[in-house]
Structure 1
Amino acid sequence: MADQEFDYIVVGAGTAGCLLANRLSADPSNRVLLIEAGGRDNYHWIHIPVGYLYCIDNPRTDWRFRTEPDPGLNGRSLIYPRGKTLGGCSSINGMLYIRGQARDYDGWAELCDDEAWRWDNCLPDFMKHEDHYRLDAGGDGDATHRDFHGHGGEWRVEKQRLNWQVLDDFATAAVEAGVPRTEDFNRGDNEGVNYFDVNQRAGWRWNTSKAFLREAEKRPNLTLWHSTQVLGLAFDTDNGDTPRCRGVRVERQGKPSEALADREVILCAGAIGSPQLLQLSGVGPADLLGAHRIPVVCDLPGVGENLQDHLQIRSVYRVTGAKTLNTMANSLVGKAKIGLEYALKRSGPMSMAPSQLCAFTRSSDEQTHPNIQYHVQPLSLEAFGQPLHDFPAITASVCNLNPTSRGTVRIKSADPRQAPAIAPNYLSTPEDRKVAADSLRVTRRIAEQPAFAKYRPEEVKPGVQYHSDDDLARLSGDIGTTIFHPVGTAKMGRDDDPMAVVDSRLRVRGVQGLRVVDASVMPTITSGNTNSPTLMIAEKAAGWILAHEA
């Protein structure tokens, strides 16, 4: 296939890539190529909210990565889902709309010495693409909501179309334990308890392919190559100046090809894919590249370092006298009722996000801000992908929002088709082990409150016989699992930070014509789910790129 030339090449049609392709191609003079390794998002389970159960670990929609055996998890290896389809992770994730805390972004601004990343300067980028249900015509939106939320954008935010009495009572128990109620987690201080808002439209998943790509794809200046594997980046290195990224090498329709970018190549392949592509292309730690006989284009030691993730620790409580999904879905009649409700009303369990109830609070009195988050579900199982338990139960998963553990993403060979080694290094610091133990105690305190105690909860996991810090930290390693929030592997930072991969405007250091725009650029993980912060990053980057900042 002949080489083709564009102004911009966007690698990865996921959360960030779909928005960027939309924004860049809105100017008809820009020739934009969007490349996605996965296929179209025409698998029906992508669009039915509960279908995440059939998309995760499915080769049609997921890269099916696995972590290396992790000492912090007592040697266990985890599945590590990453979306491989149009919409990327937004096509298989939990659909939960959470921005994080203002302090997250103010911290980025200080780390990068760039006021553009302060919360007050990020809020307009969140609002620009938002379409919040509270501001619908006839809705209950007031001036406060208009100060924090947008309407008419592409990214739909709605209330969930269900509620569960047992979760309502767990929320009341959280209030009894000292967690305030909140009606909005997204105003900069997310402390409180309530149901999540979700990225759905009328009971269907709303992914970034529908939101940003479906209409933009009709533009003659936007070219989409799906089912196309990017093999590496192409650099001009012979002119004696700073190496310049001139395009990408791909395999498309079974044949090798090269696409050229007159202005920029923009990596939106995510916290695993972007550092992998950089390393494969000679941008990364020189010793790692040398070990795989990859010529060094730019020695950037931070590429693939600084991996951060939220480890969820799942407490399971058997309950008495409560309706849960365990009892509803463990019979043919119950499954038929669930299917009929969704077919007729687009509501009920098939419209469920993976988690329904949310709470942000402190793991101990010594914490100065909410440092743990709950994802609470009216169901239980041994592990993802396994059958529901045959007894009524709920799961209260809690995660440390600001882990101090750091992991790595490193290629295993020069073969772009071989998955990299992903080593999150969970619970590798005393601080993280202490928060894990304390957070399990908070869960127990909530479960003991009168509003929930009426269900006679029995702690199935981890088990009431365990009390000490050491026991609870070890058990956290036994039952903890990823909540699918990897970030930080191509972090932004100041010029004097030797581990910074990109500058504060997301330009890759030491080369020209290359940016990274996805969750990998976060220097520290946000205090909550990471999909919507990634969209904000893409919105901000689009403005800089269109302004032709060199």
Structure 2
Amino acid sequence: MTRSVTPSTEHEVDYLVIGGGSAGCVLAARLSEDPNCRVLLIEAGGGGRSPLVQVPLGAAATVPGYAHNWNFSTTPQPHLNHRQTFQPRGRGLGGSSAINAMIYTRGHPKDYDDWASQGLTDFRWEQMLPWFIRNESNQRGASDAHGDSGPLGVDDIRYHNPVVETFHRAAAGAGYRLNSDFNQDDQEGVGRYQVTQRNGLRCSAARAYLFPAMSRSNLTVITNSHAFELAFDAGRASGAWIQTGNGPLRRFTARREVIVCAGAFQSPQLLMLSGIGPGEHLQALGIETRVNSPDVGQNLQDHLDYISAWRSPSPHLIGYGLTGIGRVAAALPNFLLRRRGIITSNVAESGGFLKSSPDLGRPDIQLHFLVALADDHNRKLHYGQGFSLHACALNPHSRGFVRLTDRHPLTPPLINPRYLSDERDLATLLAGVKLSRDIVMRPELSALRGKPMYIEDHACDAALIESIRARAESIYHPVGTCRMGIDDRAVVDARFRVKGVAGLRVVDASVMPTLISGNTNAPTQVLAERAADWIRRGE
């Protein structure tokens, strides 16, 4: 495709960053630290300052809602009873860091050493750790594993729900060690998560990096603007065609580089719309192939998650109904005056990393303990109180893909994670579900454990498998669709440069060759930190 739009010097910058999510916010802020270059950040969503974004408990509304969320869906999944699963992605400055559960984890050190073993030697753990330290400002202070002066606020949750302590006692009774820091030394165990908050408010990537930088004269941020297609001159990426609102297309020109940070679904979509991708697929849609890159959109990986939930008589839980609403209302003054209390809760206050077999070298199961009932990403509400326990398989073998649905830039991409297409993933997830339910069946939780929500307490394996196929969903960690590597089929190289095109990089979770063992937001920000450093050094 070629668009007849004349470039304007008014829209000429040094670096054009497309996507104001976790990676884009980091890049725009870091690159604009150089006063001698002009940076333009384009974001399709809004400004990321809504109270629903800033207030931690607001995540209960942003994940199922539309105002801050792309609300994607997958194709029907054969191994999940042909269901289309929900795929929330943040829409607005901060991206998914503006709607997630704020859990701060880095993954396991061996995840990064695995990348290094594939030839990505600059990503081994000993080289990644200093960047994680630089990224964070941890409430607990500086140490050999944590930083206290980085942009990203990392705090202990300001409200300690007593139900969480009971869950911890049950986990200890089941033989699991209590772990106060999943990001130092050994990841294994059960404990409270630290969260990306500062002073009781969400610390999205926008709040951490971008908002403090927006007063710089060399940084421009344009929201509610959608990138339709990349622009090229003499084989080099030179900008993009952008539509703001319902206005006309405008061409923005980048003198140095175009950096795509649109996420695991939309980065490959934009590349393919621009003629970079599997040639056969592009030709079938009438898109001229600029670079035949067969792996664009391939290698999609995600954490499939199963929720067990129980009703509970505990008054400390968050719920829908007179009791729950009254409790939140009563906590409002404490939140407004002191930024404390239950409104600072991320709901998923605790969790853990467990091994489905003691022979494993690292945990392969992650738990999230929620002080509320959870059903269908909070799109189905249940009256009353309860608690939920998630279990997901950390290192899936199944691989899916992203494709274009059609050639129109505003059409959502076709997303097919192919969940459980590798039978090993079902075995691991089943083991994780059983481990999680064994903890809840402990006597320590008997006084809090009421009627199970979805399946009986002592269900057999066959019944659990049936329930997994009927109810398992994403826990929102898609990666891999613009895979980084040193092999010929990799989409980007070890500096995130798109192969076959000069002046173009992809920097976001889509470049991860394999999924890390935990929540993906902090690692995505660190990848962007490294990219910014390499770009500024001309690498």
TM-score range, shorter chain: over 0.9
2:56 corresponds to 1:49: yes
- Aligned with residue 85 of structure 2, among 61, 78, 88: 78
Paired with 1:320 and 1:53, the residues of 2 have a C-alpha distance of 21
- Aligned with residue 408 of structure 1, among 387, 397, 401: 401
2:138 corresponds to 1:132: yes
2:416 corresponds to 1:423: yes
2:496 corresponds to 1:503: no
- Aligned with residue 179 of structure 2, among 177, 182, 186: 182
Partner of 2:220: 223
Query: 1:28 Cα deviation (Å)?
Result: 0.9
- Aligned with residue 92 of structure 1, among 93, 96, 99: 99
Query: 1:338 Cα deviation (Å)?
Result: 3.2
Paired with 2:55 and 2:258, the residues of 1 have a C-alpha distance of 34
2:271 corresponds to 1:278: yes
Q: Find the residue that maps to 1:290 and give its secondary structure.
A: helix
Query: 1:386 Cα deviation (Å)?
Result: 4.2
Paired with 1:503 and 1:334, the residues of 2 have a C-alpha distance of 52
Q: Is 1:322–1:455's contact at 8 Å kept on the other side of the alignment?
A: no
One-letter amino acid matched to 1:106: D
Partner of 1:302: 295
2:390 corresponds to 1:397: yes
Q: Is 1:83–1:90's contact at 8 Å kept on the other side of the alignment?
A: yes
| Worse overlay, 124-133 or 375-384 | 375-384
Q: Is 2:310–2:449's contact at 8 Å kept on the other side of the alignment?
A: no
Q: Is 2:108–2:362's contact at 8 Å kept on the other side of the alignment?
A: no
One-letter amino acid matched to 1:255: P
- Aligned with residue 544 of structure 1, among 521, 524, 534: 534
Q: Is 2:40–2:219's contact at 8 Å kept on the other side of the alignment?
A: yes
- Aligned with residue 214 of structure 1, among 205, 211, 214: 211
* Structure 2 unpaired stretches of 5+: 1-6
Partner of 1:146: 143
2:193 corresponds to 1:196: yes
Q: Is 1:314–1:461's contact at 8 Å kept on the other side of the alignment?
A: no
One-letter amino acid matched to 1:355: A
Paired with 2:78 and 2:514, the residues of 1 have a C-alpha distance of 22
Q: Is 1:326–1:388's contact at 8 Å kept on the other side of the alignment?
A: no
Q: Find the residue that maps to 1:174 and give its secondary structure.
A: helix
Aligned residue runs from structure 1 range 336-485, under 5 A: 336-386=329-379, 388-456=381-449, 458-464=451-457, 466-468=459-461, 470-485=462-477
Paired with 2:232 and 2:20, the residues of 1 have a C-alpha distance of 22
CA distances 1:314-339 after superposition (whole Å, capped 9, x unpaired): 01123455632238864553342133
One-letter amino acid matched to 1:251: Q
Q: Is 1:102–1:189's contact at 8 Å kept on the other side of the alignment?
A: no
Query: 1:448 Cα deviation (Å)?
Result: 2.7
Paired with 2:157 and 2:534, the residues of 1 have a C-alpha distance of 35
| Worse overlay, 384-393 or 91-100 | 384-393
Paired with 2:218 and 2:314, the residues of 1 have a C-alpha distance of 59
Partner of 1:234: 231
Query: 1:458 Cα deviation (Å)?
Result: 4.4
* Structure 1 unpaired stretches of 5+: 136-144, 238-242
Query: 1:452 Cα deviation (Å)?
Result: 2.1
Q: Is 1:166–1:322's contact at 8 Å kept on the other side of the alignment?
A: no
TM-score normalised per structure 1: 0.92
CA distances 1:251-272 after superposition (whole Å, capped 9, x unpaired): 1350211111121111111101
Identity %: 40
Paired with 1:390 and 1:156, the residues of 2 have a C-alpha distance of 34
Count of residue pairs the alignment pairs up: 531
Paired with 1:362 and 1:520, the residues of 2 have a C-alpha distance of 27
Query: 1:366 Cα deviation (Å)?
Result: 4.2
Q: Is 1:98–1:532's contact at 8 Å kept on the other side of the alignment?
A: yes
Q: Is 1:101–1:188's contact at 8 Å kept on the other side of the alignment?
A: no
- Aligned with residue 13 of structure 2, among 6, 25, 29: 6
Q: Is 2:318–2:324's contact at 8 Å kept on the other side of the alignment?
A: no
Q: Is 1:329–1:335's contact at 8 Å kept on the other side of the alignment?
A: no
CA distances 1:368-403 after superposition (whole Å, capped 9, x unpaired): 321101110121143333465345421000111111
Query: 1:517 Cα deviation (Å)?
Result: 0.5
| Worse overlay, 20-29 or 246-255 | 246-255
- Aligned with residue 158 of structure 2, among 161, 164, 178: 161
Paired with 2:409 and 2:457, the residues of 1 have a C-alpha distance of 47
One-letter amino acid matched to 2:282: L
Q: Find the residue that maps to 2:229 and give its secondary structure.
A: strand
Query: 1:58 Cα deviation (Å)?
Result: 3.3
Partner of 2:46: 39
- Shift in CA distance, 20/327, structure 1 to aligned 2, threshold 3 Å: closer
Aligned residue runs from structure 1 range 487-502, under 5 A: 487-496=479-488, 498=489, 500-502=490-492
Q: Is 2:321–2:383's contact at 8 Å kept on the other side of the alignment?
A: no
Q: Find the residue that maps to 2:369 and give its secondary structure.
A: strand
Q: Is 1:436–1:473's contact at 8 Å kept on the other side of the alignment?
A: no
Q: Is 1:38–1:86's contact at 8 Å kept on the other side of the alignment?
A: yes
Partner of 1:140: none
Partner of 1:107: 114
Q: Is 2:64–2:379's contact at 8 Å kept on the other side of the alignment?
A: no
CA distances 1:274-326 after superposition (whole Å, capped 9, x unpaired): 00000100000011101110000001111111111111100112345563223
Paired with 1:153 and 1:432, the residues of 2 have a C-alpha distance of 37
Q: Is 1:324–1:378's contact at 8 Å kept on the other side of the alignment?
A: yes
CA distances 1:218-237 after superposition (whole Å, capped 9, x unpaired): 11111212111111111235
Q: Find the residue that maps to 2:140 and give its secondary structure.
A: helix
| Worse overlay, 86-95 or 457-466 | 457-466
Paired with 2:330 and 2:85, the residues of 1 have a C-alpha distance of 34
Query: 1:16 Cα deviation (Å)?
Result: 0.6
Partner of 2:4: none
Paired with 1:491 and 1:177, the residues of 2 have a C-alpha distance of 39
Paired with 2:283 and 2:452, the residues of 1 have a C-alpha distance of 51
One-letter amino acid matched to 1:151: D
One-letter amino acid matched to 1:474: E
- Shift in CA distance, 387/65, structure 1 to aligned 2, threshold 3 Å: closer
- Shift in CA distance, 149/456, structure 1 to aligned 2, threshold 3 Å: closer
Q: Find the residue that maps to 1:146 and give its secondary structure.
A: coil
| Worse overlay, 332-341 or 483-492 | 332-341
Q: Find the residue that maps to 1:215 and give its secondary structure.
A: helix
CA distances 1:161-180 after superposition (whole Å, capped 9, x unpaired): 11222221111211222221
Q: Is 2:59–2:101's contact at 8 Å kept on the other side of the alignment?
A: yes
Paired with 1:407 and 1:384, the residues of 2 have a C-alpha distance of 22
C-alpha RMSD over aligned residues: 1.9
One-letter amino acid matched to 1:537: L
Paired with 2:380 and 2:75, the residues of 1 have a C-alpha distance of 25
Paired with 1:11 and 1:331, the residues of 2 have a C-alpha distance of 41
- Aligned with residue 525 of structure 2, among 528, 535, 543: 535
